[in-house]
Structure 1
Amino acid sequence: MSKTIKDLTAGTAGGIAQVLVGQPFDIVKVRMQTSPKGTYSGMMHCAGGILKNEGPLAFYKGTLTPLLGIGVCVSIQFGVIEYMKRFYAERNALNGVGGPGGRNLSGDQLFISGVLAGLANGFVSGPVEHIRIRLQTQQVKNYPYAGPFDAIKKIYTAHGIAGIFKGQGVTFFA
């Protein structure tokens, strides 16, 4: 198996685990951030309200979007950074720097690798996060979106591609 395929597979597996473990905490965070002041007295009050009013599956509302997207997002990020590290190691080896095989990368090389990986990831993660938050903030009595694909369709119809990428500039700085 090539190094790139291993990198992409590892990134995907890690991303899926991250979503499944973190989603209940994330929905509580998003609800607390987007609710009017005074709605919740704290995290446990918010979580209890979600459980009581919407049931236990509500903690996984909007999970399909990050599950579909996180594998792509994390694998892109992991794949790009590992590709760039190999690129710089080969370049270092040709120039006789960076120790055996050129593997000791400089801080600048690591920084550039990370920035490029983050930018590549941002093209996918921005829309994924946007759709996820739209789905998470739907209230039980008013569901404008039937799921991630319905949300994408409705947002695109109303606002075009700019609507899907809303907030993208901030994503690149995050």
Structure 2
Amino acid sequence: PGTPRQQRWGLLFDELDSNKDGRVDIHELRLGLARLGARTPDSAGQDILQEGDIDQDGGLTLEEFTRYLQEHERRLLLMFHSLDRNQDGHIDASEIQQSFQALGVSISLQQAEKILHSMDRDGTMTIDWQEWRDHFLLQPLENMEDVLKFWKHSTVLDIGECLTVPDEFSEQEKLSGMWWKQLVAGAVAGAVSRTGTAPLDRLKVFMQVHASKTNQLNVLGGLRSMVQEGGIRSLWRGNGINVLKIAPESAIKFMAYEQIKWAIRGQQETLRVQERFVAGSLAGATAQTIIYPMEVLKTRLTLRQTGQYKGLLDCARQILEQEGPRAFYKGYLPNVLGIIPYAGIDLAVYETLKNRWLQQDSHHSADPGILILLACGTISSTCGQIASYPLALVRTRMQAQGTTNGELWRAKWEPDSSLGVSEASC
């Protein structure tokens, strides 16, 4: 029969082993986790199998499963004791709050209570060892840092307007090198998303510069005009430098953010939301100041006609010769001013949506799921974009000053080509 703990593990194994062949494979493990109501990532089953499958035969025997749970419970017990700061055998909301603060994130006591509520089964508003063990037994979430990772703010939509607050990285992620892997992954994802949305980005810039009350330029008319002038490939003009500037911008923003956070924090352990906003805005302004000439080049290359420039360097040379070095910072002021409403509203909306979810829907798990994160990030990013769009329009108009192709563009889609081009040239 074994000990009560071994009997509990045996019953759990029998529940997962749906075909009763004495082995639990990845398919049974995933179905079992879903059937037991464990809200785990898709990779959870694979992680359990990879760690517990000693003979590498693609399945877990009862012995392997028992050995895995024994080691996993040992780790969970150590973590429970580290969180139980007063060593009374229970974790309360204040201890969860302190754990978050130790990881560099400030949360309210009410938020900590909502997280605790997702694990509290007996309604005592504390978590004992059994509740902690049962909650995390089949989950890859093994500490409060893993819970924290759910709510790290990141940009969901990247179409070239990178003004958002940089990602937060814990001390463990910095020491392990995970931060640069995430930056690289973000850069690759940004390059793919920007390339996919490049035609829409070019259309946006085209309409920002050329649309007016007189020509009534619309989406289809703009696309048609660009394709007629340069073919399908012209829809991706300016995308090369738009992708190229991701790496330096992300690296500068991250380094500036860490330095500014350190200066603001002083002797404090954590930064409040408003302090993160200030640090993020200053970091964004620093990055934009350094890479801003690339923004001007991107706008000019996006608006160019066939044969106007031989490439990136030729574009930079012509701007320097014809307009001087100051032309590389046209539109800089509205661009920097746009960071404040964008980052502020983006972060504020995200925090509001996050808090609303924690208050109303976190009763079963602190994991919001990918759809909730996607919705929160998309809504907050969209609100930030809307708030800063007037300044973005002014910036693009100023960046485009000096182009000489206004009349050529206008003649292709304006009903009366004799109309003035002062609106398109500004």
Fold shared per TM-score above 0.5 = yes
Larger radius of gyration: 2
Answer whether contact 1:81 1:113 (CA < 8 A) is retained: yes
AA aligned opposite 1:32:
L
For 1:62-101, what aligned pairs fall within 5 Å after superposition?
62-93=331-362, 95=363, 97-98=364-365
4+ runs deviating over 4 angstroms: none
Give the match for residue 400 of structure 2.
137
Listed one character per residue, the Cα deviations across residues 6-57 of structure 1 (whole Å, up to 9, x for unaligned) are: 2321331232123213311010111111122211000011011112222222
Query: Percent identity among equivalent residues?
Result: 27
| Structure 1: gaps (5+ residues) | 142-158, 160-174
Give the match for residue 377 of structure 2.
114
Alpha-carbon distance in structure 2 between the residues aligned to 1:47 and 1:26: 12
Q: Does 1:59 align with 2:59?
A: no
AA aligned opposite 1:4:
V
Change (3 A) 1:130 1:60: same
Answer whether contact 2:300 2:403 (CA < 8 A) is retained: no
Indicate the larger mover: 81-90 or 59-68. Answer: 81-90
Answer whether contact 1:8 1:75 (CA < 8 A) is retained: yes
What do you get for the CA RMSD once the two structures are aligned?
2.5
SS at match of 1:74: helix
Give the match for residue 160 of structure 2.
none
Indicate the larger mover: 116-125 or 14-23. Answer: 14-23
Structure whose residues are more often helix by fraction: 1
| Structure 2: gaps (5+ residues) | 1-269, 405-422
Alpha-carbon distance in structure 2 between the residues aligned to 1:11 and 1:89: 24
For 1:8-47, what aligned pairs fall within 5 Å after superposition?
8-47=277-316
Answer whether contact 2:299 2:399 (CA < 8 A) is retained: yes
Alpha-carbon distance in structure 2 between the residues aligned to 1:6 and 1:39: 46
Indicate the larger mover: 16-25 or 64-73. Answer: 16-25
For 1:142-157, what aligned pairs fall within 5 Å after superposition?
none
Shift of residue 86, structure 1, vs aligned partner: 2.9
Alpha-carbon distance in structure 1 between the residues aligned to 2:275 and 2:360: 22
Shift of residue 2, structure 1, vs aligned partner: 7.8
Alpha-carbon distance in structure 2 between the residues aligned to 1:20 and 1:59: 11
Listed one character per residue, the Cα deviations across residues 87-108 of structure 1 (whole Å, up to 9, x for unaligned) are: 3233344x2x22xxx3x22112
